[in-house]
Amino acid sequence: MATNGHPSSAPDGYVIKILNGEIVRAPYVPARKKPGQEEEEEAGATLRLGPDFHDAHALSVSEARLIVEKTEEVRKKTGKKLRETENLLKMQTYMDTFARFRSLGTLNQIETLLANYASVGMDSFEMAQLVSLACVEAEEAKTLIPSLSDKISDEDLTNLCEQISQQRQFMDDA
């Protein structure tokens, strides 16, 4: 018999346990399996984002803003209003504040620019972070995105950051 609240197995698939001072017989429910030692996800010196991100295209804040904006336009045209939840409004405020680029043309030019760097092994996540953070030089980029350290030279990264900044400058001048 069980003591101190620890269940005792019965041969018929039930357990006997003490609950509130009484002995009760209840169906056996196995404890949830603890997840195995899964690799911890992190965006550190080694990029480990987990299986959900292996084939996913990461979006910059600017791309996400543009997608939400276009979705709203399409829904308005079809008469389906986007449900404005508190989370959606907060997300839109965040994207409006931090989106570095606002036009599809500029984002397409940046996408083309970044495609040239995919061959050095840069991940979609790293590229999206470069666009969102708008780093000015290699040291800043490698501090904020440590996984870039072994993938691209400081000279190439500084050049890439400058080219992205030029797109932003061009956008501000227009």
Three-class secondary structure of residue 147 per DSSP: helix
- Which residue intervals of the chain bear CATH 1.20.1250.40? 42-60+100-173
Distance in angstroms (rounded) separating the CA atoms of residues 23 and 17: 6
49-102 pLDDT, tens per residue?
Answer: 667 776 778 889 999 999 888 888 888 888 887 778 898 889 999 999 999 898
79: its two tokens:
């008469």
Per-residue DSSP letter, 72: H
CATH number given to 42-60+100-173: 1.20.1250.40
Q: Which amino acid is at 42?
A: E
106-144 pLDDT, tens per residue?
Answer: 999 999 888 887 777 888 888 999 999 989 999 999 999
